[in-house]
Amino acid sequence: MERQNQFIKALTSPDTQEIAFNKLLSEYKQRLYWHIRKIVIDHEDADDVLQNTFIKVFENIKNFKGNSSIYTWMYKIATNEALNLLGKKSRQLGISNEEWIEHKTAQLESDIYFDGDAMQLKFQKAIAQLPEKQRLVFNMRYFEEMKYEKMSEVLETSVGALKASYHHAVNKIKKAIHE
Amino acid sequence: MNELDKKTPFRVPEGYFEGFDQKIAQKMDTIDSKNGFKTPPHYFQKVENQILDQIKFPKTQSFSYILWKTAAVAAVLIVFLFNENTAFEKNELAEYFIEDYLISKSIYEIADHSDYQFEMGNLIDHYESIALDDALDMVLYGESPTNLNVFDDE
Residue B138 reports pLDDT greater than 80: no
Kindly report the number of other CB atoms within 10 A of residue B81's CB atom: 16
Which pLDDT value is given to residue A101? 93
Q: A168 or B108, which is more confident?
A: A168
Q: Which of A8, A3, A6 is nearest to A57 (CA)?
A: A8
CA angle centred on A30, ends A24 and A31, rounded to 5°: 85
- Say what the pLDDT of residue A80 is: 96
pLDDT digits (tens, 9 = 90+) for A5-34: 888 999 999 889 999 999 999 999 999 999
Q: Does A34 touch chain B (CB under 8 A)?
A: yes
B62 touches chain A (CB under 8 A): no
A57 pLDDT tier (thresholds 50, 70, 90):
very high
Inform me whether the C-beta atom of residue B29 falls under 8 Å from chain A C-beta atoms.
yes
Interface test with A, best of B30, B34, B37 (most A CBs within 10 A): B37
Closest by Cα among A116, A150, A157, A111 to A134: A157
Q: So what's the pLDDT on residue B36? A: 84
Cβ-based contacts of B31 with chain A (< 8 Å) = 115
> What would the pLDDT profile of A42-51 be if each residue is shown by its tens digit?
999 999 999 9
The pLDDT tens digits of the residues spanning A104-159 come to 999 998 899 998 888 899 999 999 999 999 999 999 999 999 999 999 999 999 99
Kindly report the pTM of this predicted structure. Answer: 0.64
Report CA torsion sign: B15, B17, B19, B23. positive
How does residue B135 score in pLDDT terms, banded at 50, 70 and 90?
A: low
Counting beta carbons within 10 angstroms of the beta carbon of residue A127, is it exposed (0 to 12), middle (13 to 18) or buried (19 or more)? buried
